Structure 1
Amino acid sequence: MSPSGNQDSAPEGVRLQKVLAAAGVASRRVCEQLIVEGRIRVNGAVVTELGTRIDPESDLVDVDGVAVQLDGTKRYIILNKPRGIVSTMKDEQGRPDLRRYTREWPERLFNVGRLDADTSGLLVLTNDGDLAHVLSHPSFGVTKVYIAKVEGRVSAQTIARLTAGVTLEDGPIAADKARLLSASGEGAGSLVELTLHSGRNRIVRRMMAEVGHPVVELVRRQFGPLHLGTLPVGKARELTKLERGALLTLSRRDAGDDRSAGDELSAGPRSQ
């Protein structure tokens, strides 16, 4: 937020309660109450003055610690990607790509990270480059949850080995969590749930092959705070307000943008 400058000039920014109401947080009157109760932060600093003005294009606002989306030009989509679809908006080899799932939205969307063509499940599509960087870059450690149908009967010892770590051709890797969902006979195979934050190529398939249980089918059920839920295969939808808040909260925290009060007091909220 920039300083207000000359006192005789027109006030800069937009009143906080108006911005919050426009973002769908609540009615303006309820938003005013949230401000008075100290439940709103602007750039990490609690704001309690009703005259506070902000710049919706640059300031970061959260309610009860949950980020609020102020930029209405940003779009966030969740897709249950089918098998056989490559994770790109335009495949140079002419294979089925993601364009068919984005036609109803006018924005130019792109996928956050990738799923192999033979892997189905949760894929995020957006036009928010900053958020996409946080979600897809392995250094931020965003977790993903996969359900793998594998060959053979998986033992408790194998599950322990997955969390202890295995060594692959590109280095050691350990699952954050591993859980056996079901283990039938050799013909029926087993279901294993793996939680990972690694972004390495085909990592679940390579880990399971290393422990002697090649993957037959693989689905990503969760990506950070987002869950696939009951979204049918091949369907896409916009994130709900709660999902957007959880996603933006995660991205701001991991990107270091959840500013403390001391970081930006040289240009604090404007009051009038």
Structure 2
Amino acid sequence: MSTEEGIRLQKVLAQAGVASRRAAEDLIARRRVEVNGEVVREQGLRVDPARDVIRVDGKRIPPQRQHQYVVLNKPRGVVSTMDDPHGRRTVADFLGGRGRLFHVGRLDADTEGLLLLTNDGDFAQRMAHPSFEVPKTYVAEVAGQVTEATLKRLRDGVTLEDGPVSADRTKLMQRLEDRSLVRVTLHSGRNRVVRRMFEEVGHPVRKLSRIAIGPVRLGDLKSGAVRDLTREELGALLDLVKL
């Protein structure tokens, strides 16, 4: 950050939709704004919004978007590609005129739910990289009656053909005579990992939906609908992947 170059901090906050310039000056005066980890104690500070990390009340304020960051509630039967040689429906069918986007961690055709798409290649690569351990939450309808012992086994870890894997959290949501509904959170992005974990413990998946990626929640977004990431969601994800 600089006192001579860049854009005035209050203007950046206003452009980001945080507050009007006058209200932004009040936030600064009340020591609620940080730039690169330092509390701002003066008005008129100039910043580079593309490089400086700006926070208000501890929450990351991302720069104005030069890229697209989209949430899709992918329907079952849709493949996580922009085109398909076999003529199946793809995510491109739901994106309107948004252009070509990368999926951030694919969902197999039989799995529905939250899929992130972007044209920011660095962001997509970081989100998919296992070293950043972005948690993902699923709701699985599985065959049979799942017990607490089975849930503990998933948390302790099971060994698949490509190595051991464990769930961070599990919760039995419903148990009926012939099926159970389980919520599971894990960091692994391996192919079909949730299905393979439940297969390993003797409860094949009947239906699977991803409901969250990190701080991003599917919420009441309808199947096949899209929305942009909110400023808060994007800021939190940028922190998670250290961008």
Q: Same fold (TM over 0.5)?
A: yes
Pick from 192, 195, 204: which aligns with 2:194? 204
Q: How many residues are matched?
A: 243
State the match for 1:171 in structure 2: 163
Give unpaired runs (5+ residues) of structure 1: 5-10, 258-272
C-alpha RMSD of the superposition: 1.7
Distance in structure 2 (CA, Å) of the matches to 1:30 and 1:104: 36
Residue 48 and residue 93 in structure 1: after superposition, are their counterparts in 2 closer, same or farther (change >3 A)?
Answer: farther
Q: What is the TM-score of this pair, normalised by structure 2?
A: 0.93
1:94 corresponds, among 87, 93, 103, to 87
Aligned to 2:9: 16
State the Cα distance separating 1:35 from its structure 2 match.
Answer: 1.3
The structure, 1 or 2, with the larger RCO (C-alpha pairs under 8 Å, 6+ apart) is: 1
Partner of 1:129: 121
Contact 1:78 1:236 in 2 (8 A): yes
* Alignment match of 2:44 (pick from 51, 73, 83): 51
Listed one character per residue, the Cα deviations across residues 73-117 of structure 1 (whole Å, up to 9, x for unaligned) are: 222211100111111122344322111222243x54221111011
Match of 1:262 in 2: none
> What TM-score comes out, normalization by structure 1 length?
0.84
Deviation per residue, 1:8-30 (Å, 9 max, x gap):
xxx42111101110111100011
Could you say which residue in structure 1 is the equivalent of 2:231?
241
1:64 Cα deviation after fit: 1.5
1:139-218 superposed matches below 5 A = 139-186=131-178, 189-218=179-208
The runs of at least 4 aligned residues of structure 1 exceeding 6 Å deviation read none
Amino acid at match of 1:219: S
SS of 1:118's equivalent in the other structure is coil
State the identity as a percent.
Answer: 55
**In 2, distance between residues paired with 1:92 and 1:218?**
25
Q: Is the 8 A contact 2:136 2:212 kept in 1?
A: yes
Considering only CA atoms, is the larger Rg found in Structure 1 or Structure 2? 1
**Structure 2 segments unaligned to the other structure (5+ residues):** none
